[in-house]
Amino acid sequence: MSTAVNNATSESAISINGLEFAYGNRPVLKGIDLEIPRCIAFGVLGANGAGKTTLVRLLIGRLKATAGAALVFGQEPGPELADSVGYMPQLNALYETLSVRENLDFFARMLGLSNKEQRTDAVARAMELVGLTDRADSVMSELSVGMRQRVSLGAALVHEPDLLLLDEPTVGLDPELRARFWQHFKEMTDSGTTIVISSHTMDDAAHCDTLGFMRDGKFIATGTPDELRESTGEPNSTLEYAFLFLSRASG
């Protein structure tokens, strides 16, 4: 296994070379090299503090690399890619005084859906996906934490982006809705969308096409879930065991 998922950069959704980032004197990302091909679900797995959220923020242009480079569809991350990229942060950035429908409509407009009829259809699809059609007119302050998480996901995918970046997307969701999300994510990758999921949940990891285990600002291994389990040499290894095994082996 290698930290390069696919060496064909021209076919990659994301290409990362020597990426480093530091907050002041504290290094967070330490020379990452990674290629993520299009049309897959790639999971970034690691404990809190491993650098997962920092990596996602670099990929949407919220942060600038200290060294190295990251390209999304061959371009540097930034506002120019807003129409092509959807982002769900770990902490939602929704408007408390607006309804579910109004929040999604706002983000749809911000993400380039200027036609009212198209926007109305897109908002309706997003609400159906996240299971909140019956709460369309509820203001955010009336919703539970789990429901807010669902609205945040709807806002990230309302414009049907080519790349979807999700930071801990299933936190607070019940198993039925989590399964529904993953079914939709599979349909999205089959239709040409690339999904990158940052998570510490092994349930999410098992659904990804390819995984990257992060520890202390670096990828310690990448591969399919089966490849990572098999790397332990244990016939009945779990992904959790594989992560712990590979973490110990790395150092």
In a domain, 111, yes or no: yes
Q: Are strands 85-88 and 218-223 parallel, antiparallel or unpaired?
A: unpaired
Share the mean pLDDT of the chain.
Answer: 90
In a domain, 98, yes or no: yes
Provide the CATH number for the domain around residue 102.
1.10.8
In a domain, 127, yes or no: yes
pLDDT in tens, 186-212: 999 999 999 999 988 888 888 999 999
In a domain, 27, yes or no: no
Which DSSP string do the residues of 135-194 spell out, in sequence order? GTT-BGGGS-HHHHHHHHHHHHHTT--SEEEEESTTTT--HHHHHHHHHHHHHHHHTT-E
Amino acid at 130: V
- Residue count of the chain, please give it: 251
What domain range includes position 144?
A: 87-160
CA distance 45 to 16: 17
Is residue 52 within 8 A of residue 215, CB to CB? The reply is no
The residues, any chain, with a CB within 8 Å of residue 250's CB and separated by 6 or more, are 215, 220, 221
In a domain, 105, yes or no: yes
In a domain, 116, yes or no: yes
pLDDT in tens, 45-72: 998 889 999 999 999 999 999 999 999 9
In a domain, 147, yes or no: yes
* Tally of domains within the chain: 1
Is residue 43 within 8 A of residue 199, CB to CB? The reply is yes
In a domain, 55, yes or no: no
Please report, rounded to a whole number, the percentage of residues in the chain having pLDDT higher than 90.
Answer: 68
- pLDDT score, position 3: 40
CA distance 88 to 66: 24
Say if pTM beats, i.e. exceeds, 0.95.
no
